[in-house]
Structure 1
Amino acid sequence: MSGWDLVWLEDERLLLEECADFLRGQGYTVRGAATWPELLALLKDKKPDLVLLDWMVPGGIDGLEACKLIQRQWRIPVIMVTAKGDEFDKVLALEIGADDYLTKPFGLRELAARIKAVLRRAEGGSRFPAADEAAGEEEIIRRGELTIDPVKFEARLKDKPLDLTRTEFQLLAKLAAHPGRVFTRMQLMDEALGDAYVGYERTMDSHIRNLRRKLGDDPADPVYIHTVYGVGYKFAEGV
């Protein structure tokens, strides 16, 4: 895997230099930033393939807010890199849209493996409905007043764009591509999100709540996403 452009926000210069040297030897391009304004300048100069983001971001914004902004404006995969190792912190990072979470200290081989896995998932492949058999040759999915374009990574309701995180979009696209099919939480983790979420299937409930809120779905009487109690979730048939 070569030719990928990575941007890394890390104020520990020695750590950044050591990791960047190793990754360059693996064929990656690595651009480093020590503060949030420096990172913004790099993102605006050239959109990278992946951002590695320190939780404690220097420059007036915390890592979670930075992750949200990156996902909203650039739709770039994000790996949170931090000394915070609590399960609560990992779940929180994944819930707000991070693609993976790496706890310091970490090995260089683990770092390379995590980056490779996130890039492979983000590249597309079978987890996007455009490649699903159910979607057929039509790339755009239409379900009632809901339109999902996996190529543009865009969802619209009543022709108004939905402000979805990367994770929310992937879940919505997966469910909408298979109306009536029941997915367990673990299946959604595996098929839509990948192995970063293994062991955190209960975070799915938070993602579904957020999706329903943005879709204007009443949890007691949802139009789009239905709960199958004791099993998981499904997208409504006949919408």
Structure 2
Amino acid sequence: FTSYHDPKHLVSSSVTLREQLALLKDPGVLRYSQYYSVVFGGYVALALWMTKYYVGEYGMGLNTAAFLAACFSLPGGVLRAFGGYLSDKFGAYKVTWAVMWVCWVCFFLLSYPQTDLVIKTTGGSMSLHIGLNVTLFTILMFTVGVAMAVGKASVFKFVADDYPNNIGAVSGIVGLAGGMGGFLLPIMFGALEDFTGIRSTSFMLLYGTVCVSLIWMHFSFKAKRNG
């Protein structure tokens, strides 16, 4: 038996190194690299950061913190194939757009720091605590993990659709961007926490990166969406 081969994938590439490096200036490649730095780089960074976050923010033991952190990292790793299925069925744009909006909402809620308010009245004072408890926090992180798993597949669906003759080169560039995000974001998380003393600044940073993705996506695909 022989497996099926798409003739388009059998064409030998004559693309030179100079032409491959020129892809770094392509707006589409830069756009997809930014998306992937969010859904893959953010996933890697949070997977490294979550255990420490549970211990510091909620005072949990290391074993419990690691177990709850797995509620984020496990779906983010095993549901990527499901993201590929959705991307094939609904298209890369619709799936990635939905993924970014889910992340936007979740990171907005996760960004709010644990806050204690003291309201003074004539009869005394009243204390009010505002913040996510560990259950809500874990549910939101699980949701983000699922969204990022789907997004990791949908971004590469963009690459396959838009660069069928340069899949290898573009995939390498986009993958590099994701890896760099996973390397740099934990460092930035720590720097922001040291500077502000607020742990949830890590989510504020991710919220900002998702805002960039949504704005970039809106204007980049506006003509295609209205056409």
More strand by share: 1
Structure 1 length as normaliser, TM-score? Answer: 0.27
Q: Which has the higher contact order (CA 8 A, sep 6+)?
A: 2
Structure 2 length as normaliser, TM-score? Answer: 0.28
Of structures 1 and 2, the larger Rg is shown by: 2
More helix by share: 2
